[in-house]
Amino acid sequence: MTNPDSSSIAREDAASTQTAERIAERIQDTGVVIGVSESLTSGLLASFLGAAPSSSDWFLGGLTAYATSVKRSVLGVTAEAVVSEESAAQMAEGTAKLLGADLALAITGSGGPEPQDGQEPGTVFIGIAASGLERPVVVERFFEGDPEEVIHATVGAALELLEDRLEKLLAEHGRR
The tens digit of pLDDT for each residue in 74-92 reads 999 999 999 999 999 999 9
d(CA 174, CA 105): 22
What pLDDT was estimated at residue 173?
82
What pLDDT was estimated at residue 132?
86
Please state the rounded mean pLDDT for residues 96-119: 97
C-alpha 111 chain-centroid distance: 15
Using DSSP bridges, classify how beta strands 137-142 and 123-130 pair: parallel, antiparallel or unpaired.
antiparallel
What pLDDT was estimated at residue 100?
97
Burial class (CB in 10 A: 0-12, 13-18, 19+), 90: buried
- Give Dmax over CA atoms of the chain in angstroms: 50
Please state the rounded mean pLDDT for residues 92-106: 98
Residues contacting 56, CB < 8 A, separation 6+ = none
**Whether the predicted pLDDT of 2 surpasses 50:** no
The tens digit of pLDDT for each residue in 137-167 reads 999 999 999 999 999 999 999 999 999 999 9
Please state the rounded mean pLDDT for residues 15-32: 97
Contact 44, 50 (CB under 8 A): no
Please state the rounded mean pLDDT for residues 25-47: 98
What pLDDT was estimated at residue 29?
95
What pLDDT was estimated at residue 1?
39
Residues in the chain: 176
